[in-house]
Structure 1
Amino acid sequence: MHKTAPSAAKGFSLIELLVAMAIGLVVTLVITRVLMLSEGQKRTSTALNDTVQSGAYSSFVLERAIRQAGTGYTQKLTELFGCRINAARVSTGGPLLPATAPFDAPFAAASQMRRLAPVLIEKNAADSGGQTRGDVITVLSGAGGKSEMPMRATSFNLALPMSFSLPFTGEYSVGDLVLIGGDRAAGGQRECMVQQVSAIAGKSLILGGDYFSATGSTVNYADFATMSVVYAAQIGKGQPPLPAPQTPPNPPLFQMFGVGDNNTLFALDLLKTGSTAAANQPQPVSDNVVEVRALYGIDANFDHMLDTWWDPATSPFTYAELTSGSGVALADLKRITSIRLGLITRSPVQEKLRDDGTPVSPEQVVLFPGLTSSGGAQLQYVRTLTADERNFRYRTYETIIPLRNMQFAPLP
């Protein structure tokens, strides 16, 4: 029988294998490159979204606080503005204002003396350790919810339990915080104290509880009995006069805002109305915020119209001048009708250089571009970035916030 010879074994030649491997390698590199670009874009997009959310939320929190600044006391701004605030809380160790030690970071450089005004800006007070963080903004707002008109206080009883009288006490309840303010004789400093209502007897508010104090750093309760005119403003709820701790339902908003470590915007409750020690420390508001800047909107002639913007580092609207306690300072406090707020936010993810070797951000970030005062002063703010900082992405946020309560205040 004739047998056919077996055919040659079939397979790939070495050249074919090399070509296939080369094609596979190219495809793998392309896919890897596409995946890397996609992942990079995803990370960039996520980082930018985080930055946008942080900026939007920070602006919202600050705008909400500033819009209601002055609630409860601006209707008697001539009698109350500029007073030195004295406040104490027994359960937290006593004196709160004026502070007996620097505030916790990032507010350590802020003045320990606080005066009553809707909004005050301390230029560069958040800067620390060579890091530029910007301004500290103090917002003082009552939250009584029932009274927007301070009333004349009379008949000061100096024996325990201390008390004073008002024309009408129906708007008050036990636990309310009340701000008592007046002028010392012979043109002395304007003073005020935060006290707490422990009981109500007819037209008398009896004082006591956690926030009651007979003495202060710059004024004592007894001093108000010697002042010719004293006003009392309901500013919200404090901790109850009873020992049981609980969070007050409607506390006043005496707060400072500023940027601290890790690009975080913090808020500090000056009256420490929280029920725990941790709640009375500076509280993080939002992250990815590297700098906060603010300008005053000035009503030059008391017609409830914005006339110009003003740098808080420029006389006569520096923090030191506005809090000097002088008649000029009082008039200037009345002229502040709005705040122009600027924030710089930064993505949390450091990015690589672009394909052409350049960083992802320009050398400068600008707030208030091209803005000048009515006198021609330059108000534009420029932050120059280091080479490392340029590897992050930045966004700016600006908003104009009217001081709502000042729009209806009796001026001058």
Structure 2
Amino acid sequence: MSRPARLDRGFSLVELMVAMVIGLVLTLTISTMVARQESVRRGVTSGNDLTSNSAYASYLLDRELRSAGAGFSQATASNYGCTLHASRNAAQLLPATAAFPAPFAAIPQDYRLAPVMVFAGAGAGGSDVIAVATGHSGLSETALPVSPGTAAPGQVKLSNTLGMRGGDLVLVAQDGLAQCMLQQVSAGFVGGTAEVLTFGGTLAADVIAGVALADFAIGNTNVSLLGNATGNQPRLQLLGIGANNTLFSYDLLQLTAGAQALAEGIVDMRVRYGVDSAPRDGTVDAWIAPTSAGYTAAALRDGSATSRDNLQSILSLRVGLVLRSDLVDKTDVTRPTLTLFDTLPAAQQHTFTVPAGTATQRYRTVEFTVPLRNVRYSR
């Protein structure tokens, strides 16, 4: 007995078309969800990378800046703004005989000692460069007076040399001279009641760029202990943005050779000074750009009493960073401009314009304030 014809019939064309449409809709929906999930995942990963980079860069800068001025801020009249002379293996190190390596080639070769100094627009893309000086003596921050007339080749005379040892790095400076020298205590020296402090080693020299140790024989000369050549090294650093959106540091004393890459993904760095305006009360009451009158690098470097006073008035730094991810999205994910220091008056704010063609990459701004604890107790 044959089966009814209706039982041998398959799907009709209409039924097949409906099934195909449903299948295509489901496929499209699933594909869209997968693509959206992947985009979200990539965005989260990119955001996490920016968070990690910003936290790490902030930590590095805070570490370098927080102790600025340690070791020499208790003798501002002789130390602040002095032109530092240093040598290594009898070769002049400072003032530099050639331009500093990138990204610091625009920084003046005659380095003036200060806890911090900002060179506005001297870095890559017009970013700021920070010069920071920190001693790590581990001893008293009080400068030691040199007995008048005793500065001579290879030595000075102090009231005592307690705590000094071979390899220590000291700053020799004199009120009103506007020049200072880095010297290294001779190997094997052990301080105590002995009054004569002798110099020798790779970082010691009697004459550097025409300035002689004997020039400090006149009164009001001080010795400030900065650290040691092999342990507790002083850090005289330049910090700025260079090629490939990288934060670099450069050791002016070349205890660490060459420019060192610190963190990636940073496209801009801007700084504002936290200033204790007159009358002085030890608190920050104004934020000043490093392009403002009296606070430009040129003004802070002129060696005048006003520049020293202004350097003492800088009690903190507010640092703003702009970071960018490597991930490129299909559509724009960043607005055309970003603002740093938006809680400050308009004149102190900085507008960062996102470069053409990079709005498809994620940007992030981060700001932090670093108190300069040693400057608060300077005199």
TM-score if structure 2 supplies the norm length? Answer: 0.91
> Please, which moves more after superposition, 77-86 or 197-206?
197-206
- For residues 7 and 149 of structure 1, what CA distance do their matches in structure 2 show? 112
Q: What amino acid sits opposite 2:114 in the alignment?
A: A
Who is 2:141 aligned against?
148
Who is 2:93 aligned against?
96
Who is 1:111 aligned against?
108
* SS at structure 2 position matched to 1:99: coil
- For residues 222 and 249 of structure 2, what CA distance do their matches in structure 1 show? 29
Q: Is the 8 A contact 2:316 2:371 kept in 1?
A: yes
Who is 1:329 aligned against?
307
Who is 1:87 aligned against?
86
Q: Is the 8 A contact 1:368 1:381 kept in 2?
A: yes
Compute the RMSD of aligned alpha carbons: 2.2
2:375 is the counterpart of 1:406: yes
Q: Which residue, out of 159, 169, 190, partners 1:167?
A: 159
* SS at structure 2 position matched to 1:369: coil
> Please, which moves more after superposition, 96-105 or 24-33?
24-33
Render the CA deviation track for 1:81-132: whole Å, top value 9, x for unaligned. 1111111112xx82221111111111111111211110000000003xxx34
- For residues 75 and 36 of structure 1, what CA distance do their matches in structure 2 show? 62
Q: Is the 8 A contact 1:117 1:140 kept in 2?
A: yes
Q: Which residue, out of 333, 341, 350, partners 1:381?
A: 350
Render the CA deviation track for 1:282-306: whole Å, top value 9, x for unaligned. 1111111111111112222233122
Q: What amino acid sits opposite 2:242 in the alignment?
A: G
Superposition pairs of residues 363-378 of structure 1, within 5 angstroms:
363-372=336-345, 378=347
- For residues 345 and 147 of structure 1, what CA distance do their matches in structure 2 show? 39
Q: What amino acid sits opposite 1:252 in the alignment?
A: P
- For residues 204 and 255 of structure 2, what CA distance do their matches in structure 1 show? 14
Gapped regions of structure 2 (runs ≥ 5) = none
- For residues 28 and 110 of structure 1, what CA distance do their matches in structure 2 show? 60
Superposition pairs of residues 7-406 of structure 1, within 5 angstroms:
13=11, 15=13, 19-90=18-89, 94-127=91-124, 131-132=125-126, 134-154=127-147, 156=150, 158-159=152-153, 162-183=154-175, 189-198=177-186, 199-200=188-189, 202-217=194-209, 219-225=211-217, 227-238=218-229, 248-274=230-256, 280-301=257-278, 302-353=280-331, 359-372=332-345, 378-406=347-375
TM-score if structure 1 supplies the norm length? Answer: 0.84
- For residues 169 and 315 of structure 1, what CA distance do their matches in structure 2 show? 42
CA distance 1:21–1:314, shift in 2 (3 Å)? same
How big is the shift at 1:349? Answer: 1.1
- For residues 207 and 12 of structure 2, what CA distance do their matches in structure 1 show? 97
- For residues 287 and 338 of structure 2, what CA distance do their matches in structure 1 show? 20
How big is the shift at 1:204? Answer: 2.3
- For residues 11 and 291 of structure 1, what CA distance do their matches in structure 2 show? 73
* Identical-pair percentage: 37
* SS at structure 2 position matched to 1:348: strand
- For residues 85 and 131 of structure 2, what CA distance do their matches in structure 1 show? 16
- For residues 163 and 10 of structure 2, what CA distance do their matches in structure 1 show? 96
